[in-house]
Amino acid sequence: MSLLQNKKIILGISGGIAAYKCAELTRRLTEQGAQVRVVMTSAAKAFITPLTMQAVSGNPVSDDLLDPAAEAAMGHIELAKWADLILITPASADLMARLAQGMANDLLTTLCLASAAPTVISPAMNQQMWAAPATQRNLEQLKKDGRFIIGPGVGEQACGDVGAGRMLEPAQIIEYLPAFFLPQVLQGTKVVITAGPTQEAIDPVRYISNHSSGKMGYALAQAASWLGAQVTLVSGPTNLVPPQNCECIAIKSTEQMLSACQQVSQQANIFIACAAVADYKAASIESHKIKKTQHQLNLQLTKNPDILATIAQQVDKPFSVGFAAETQDVARYAKDKMQRKNLDMIIANDVSNQQIGFNSEQNAVTVYWPDGELDFAAEDKSTLAIKLLQLIAKQYTQQTQ
Ligand code: PMT
């Protein structure tokens, strides 16, 4: 189930060419089960019609503070109280200025003053307008007032300029929203997560690796960020786009992953090793492509360093969580790994079942910690990741209190 299911969202649209993206944004929000009520400034109506927004949201559009008929249907205070979240996009320079001043000279600005719901502002404007000192001053004021700013994007603009000021794409905006509906149990923590496979070169064109897609690790990174953590994702090669709010360090080999983790884990409160690290690497990497002259080819392999064990054995180690990917005797091997590697928690993954684990959409795990265990039935990796991070946050908090 989407985290946006049944959430009541006011979508505020101000005047800007990017307003056309709001039809797609609304469609995506309603697809995820959100109830959307659109509020438009008068300038917004020059760029997209209220009829379009009514059709895609399935609700009448509000645009006038002083319209007796609209007030009779759902008054502005009622609308302000109805909202779980106010999302404003595109937020023009003018709207940002009016919000920063606390003005209430149209319906949208009035709602922002009258609502206790979090307000998320996604600006979009010409790059020069965005860089203007007045806009930047207003931006700082809005942040001080507790408004949440997402974007803008950087790139080519409708006017032909290039720079910061593009409206974020609907999918990018939606990625930020679940954080506003989840308790921020990881607020103030730094979390490092490894994900994906590592690759060990044999020669300039070949490598040893495994089937990890990175989906579980990326889902954990997204969930940790939604729960309020500052996240660093150290990732082997995958086809995935890293979650927006996370710093991502891309590596290939185990040695590279180790050195990245050693660097970033020094400041970390929590370290989660989800990567499927290649246990062995070529004893020596051929400098030229190996030729197919022999019928049999023997590769000499040597053991890779254990990243998780290295981090978990540091003196000031972060709360350390490992995964155990096993095909048999899962519980025993997992508990043994927890002890051997000096972990605070281990997440056991039965990878003999091809419906879960490696390169699948779903996962099912059992989590062990020194005085407890908990089973998580199969479900999509992003939902499971939230539950796992909530459990990790609980154990971490108990340990540090
Ligand atoms: O990426 P997906 O397709 O979504 O699949 C997810 C997953 C199956 C890869 C993931 O859920 C998982 O189980 N990851 C751990 C895979 C693994 O390598 O397990 P392991 O039992 O071999 O290793 C134990 C732990 O030590 C793991 O946390 C691993 O990251 C870590 N390790 C292992 C070897 C090594 N040299 N360094 C390590 O840090």
pLDDT tens-digit readout, 213-249: 999 999 999 999 999 999 999 999 999 999 988 999 9
Q: Do domains 8-180 and 183-400 have the same CATH topology?
A: yes
| Cβ-Cβ contacts under 8 Å for 86 (sequence gap 6 or more) | 9, 10, 12, 111, 112, 115, 117, 118, 119, 120
* Alpha carbon distance 314, 312 (integer Å): 6
| Cβ-Cβ contacts under 8 Å for 280 (sequence gap 6 or more) | 200, 208, 301, 302, 303, 304
Nearest ligand 1 atom to alpha carbon 214? 1
What is the number of alpha carbons within 13 Å of residue 142 lying toward its C-beta?
28
Cβ of 312 closer than 6 Å to ligand 1, yes or no, is no
Cβ of 349 closer than 6 Å to ligand 1, yes or no, is yes
Peptide bond before residue 133 is cis, with ω within 30 degrees of 0 = no
Nearest ligand 1 atom to alpha carbon 381? 4
Instruction: Identify whether 159 is a catalytic site residue.
Output: yes
Helix (H, G, I), strand (E, B) or coil at 100: helix
Query: Count of residues for the chain?
Result: 401
Distance 196 CA to ligand 1 centre (A): 9
Residue 354 pLDDT level (bands cut at 50, 70, 90): confident
- Contact (CB, 8 A) for 232 and 260: no
Distance 176 CA to ligand 1 centre (A): 28
pLDDT tens column, 75-99 = 899 999 999 999 999 999 999 999 9
* Alpha carbon distance 77, 388 (integer Å): 39
Q: Tokens at residue 191, please?
A: 């979390």
Cβ of 307 closer than 6 Å to ligand 1, yes or no, is yes
Cβ of 281 closer than 6 Å to ligand 1, yes or no, is no
Query: Mean pLDDT, the chain, as a whole number?
Result: 96
* Alpha carbon distance 124, 87 (integer Å): 13
Nearest ligand 1 atom to alpha carbon 322? 28
Distance 53 CA to ligand 1 centre (A): 46
* Alpha carbon distance 363, 43 (integer Å): 47
- Contact (CB, 8 A) for 223 and 376: no
pLDDT at 158: 87
pTM for this one? 0.90
Peptide bond before residue 152 is cis, with ω within 30 degrees of 0 = yes
Catalytic member of 22, 159, 248, 274: 159
CATH 3.40.50.10300 is held by the domain 183-400: yes
Helix (H) or strand (E) holding 143: helix 133-144
| Cβ-Cβ contacts under 8 Å for 141 (sequence gap 6 or more) | 100
pLDDT at 176: 94
Distance 384 CA to ligand 1 centre (A): 17
* Alpha carbon distance 401, 396 (integer Å): 9
Domain parsing of the chain, residue ranges: 8-180, 183-400
Residue 72 pLDDT level (bands cut at 50, 70, 90): confident
Residue nearest to atom 31 of ligand 1 (CA): 308
Residue nearest to atom 5 of ligand 1 (CA): 358
* pLDDT at residue 128 greater than cutoff 90: yes
- Contact (CB, 8 A) for 197 and 278: yes
Residue nearest to atom 17 of ligand 1 (CA): 276
pLDDT tens column, 32-45 = 999 999 999 999 99
pLDDT at 172: 95
pLDDT at 332: 97
Lowest-confidence region among 65-74, 210-219, 353-362: 65-74
- The preferred substitution site among 192, 199, 200, 212 for testing ligand 1, maximizing ligand atoms within 8 Å of CB, is 212
Q: Which CATH architecture has domain 8-180?
A: 3-Layer(aba) Sandwich (3.40)
